[in-house]
């Protein structure tokens, strides 16, 4: 296996499983001690490692129209929809996190196509917000209203200005302000900044069962370093290994899950291999071709570039490449 330092890499499991890995070297220094002390230290390490790994079961819902939460700074131009709308897609995989002290629970899409945690705030009065659980900063003892993304620990001064950000996705738009608080994925917790939405578009957010979006893209996709929750987990050394792994079950009866801190070898369809990230931001990697029924389609002449995106429920690409396999 090639060296991981200093390049970030993406792990891919096939079929329907991807795992993302960042560079990190973990070192444990063990002092000499009596045999009993060594056993105690070993037990402590095992207990710590157990607390640094957590798997969340992902709920799955079907809908006729696909979703995409790839974030963009450019507003999407409205256009005619193409293709059949009769197909039913397994388009939403979401799980639970908690934010604040005491913890407030939210269901979120774990999305490798965006880089921020976004939750509806108590200040948002849109139907897309009021139909979901909303974050109440006043009810959290550890919440800090942040003025500017460039100063992630800087509180909003009384009567002072603060940033308002608008993030456009493939199928919707959110505007909000910045908050810093305690964020937990199961027993793995960190402090990070996130976007508390003050406005949300009705489509698709009023129609979805989850409350927010947990961005797992690389740091270039985030508002700033302290907004990338996974990087904050690595910074705070709360993970057994700097890895998260996503598994989407192929059928409704096969469980889907995301694991932080390691990957589940029982979910692997074959040997693990490395695919270097070609354009950091998205988990973007090179692809040589697409196979259907085990047969290569000869679509990527000279190679293709693809983004591995857990928040998009369909395969998308240039018409000259995508149109042919979608009719097979």
Question: Which residues are designated catalytic?
Answer: 111, 309
Question: Which among 103, 112, 104 has a CA at the least distance from the CA of 214?
Answer: 112
Helices and strands (DSSP H and E) totals, the chain: 5, 19
* Locus of tokens 């570039």: 305
Please classify residue 36 by burial: count the beta carbons closer than 10 Å to its beta carbon, then call 0-12 exposed, 13-18 middle and 19+ buried.
Answer: exposed
- For residue 318, what are the contacts with CB-CB under 8 A and spacing of at least 6? none
Three-state secondary structure call for residue 295? strand
Distance CA 228, CA 163 (A): 18
Query: What is the end-to-end Cα distance of the chain in Å, rounded?
Result: 36
Q: Is the dihedral of CA 18, 23, 26, 27 positive or negative?
A: positive
- For residue 163, what are the contacts with CB-CB under 8 A and spacing of at least 6? 147, 148, 149, 177, 178
- For residue 280, what are the contacts with CB-CB under 8 A and spacing of at least 6? 8, 218, 219, 220
Whether 191 contacts 180, CB under 8 Å: yes
Whether 126 contacts 200, CB under 8 Å: yes
* Locus of tokens 């940033």: 163
Report in angstroms the alpha-carbon separations of 106 from 44, 112, 180.
31, 18, 16
**Percent helix, percent strand, percent coil in the chain, to nearest 5:** 15, 35, 50
Whether 159 contacts 145, CB under 8 Å: no
- For residue 120, what are the contacts with CB-CB under 8 A and spacing of at least 6? 128, 129, 132, 133, 134, 135, 196, 197, 200, 211, 212
């Amino acid at each position: 296996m090639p060296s991981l330092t200093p390049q970030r890499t993406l792990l891919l499991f096939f079929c329907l499983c991807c795992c993302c890995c960042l560079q990190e070297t973990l070192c444990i220094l063990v002092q000499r001690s009596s045999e009993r002390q060594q056993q105690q230290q070993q037990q402590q390490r095992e207990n710590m490692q157990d607390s640094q790994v957590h798997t969340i079961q992902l709920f799955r819902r079907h809908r006729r129209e696909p979703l995409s939460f790839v974030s963009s700074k450019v507003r999407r131009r409205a256009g005619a929809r193409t293709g059949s709308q009769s197909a039913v897609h397994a388009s939403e995989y979401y799980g639970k996190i908690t934010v604040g002290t005491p913890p407030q629970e939210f269901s979120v899409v774990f999305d490798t196509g965006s880089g921020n945690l976004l939750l509806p705030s108590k200040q948002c009065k849109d139907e897309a917000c009021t139909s979901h659980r909303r974050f109440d900063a006043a009810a959290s003892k550890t919440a800090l209203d942040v003025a500017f993304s460039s100063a992630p620990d800087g509180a909003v001064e009384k009567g002072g200005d603060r940033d308002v950000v608008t993030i456009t996705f493939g199928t919707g738009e959110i505007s909000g302000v910045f908050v810093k608080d305690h964020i937990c994925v199961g027993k793995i917790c960190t402090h990070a900044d996130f976007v508390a939405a003050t406005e949300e578009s009705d489509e698709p957010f009023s129609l979805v069962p989850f409350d927010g979006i947990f961005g797992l893209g690389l740091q270039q996709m985030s508002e700033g370093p302290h907004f990338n929750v996974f990087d904050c987990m690595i910074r705070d050394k709360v993970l057994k290994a700097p890895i998260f792994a996503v598994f989407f079950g192929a059928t409704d009866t096969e469980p889907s899950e995301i694991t932080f801190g390691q990957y589940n070898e029982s979910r692997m369809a074959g040997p693990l291999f490395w695919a270097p990230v070609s354009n950091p931001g998205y988990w973007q990697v090179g692809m040589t071709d697409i196979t259907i029924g085990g047969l290569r389609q000869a679509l990527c002449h000279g190679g293709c570039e693809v983004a591995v995106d857990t928040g998009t429920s369909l395969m998308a690409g240039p018409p000259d490449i995508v149109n042919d396999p979608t009719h097979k």
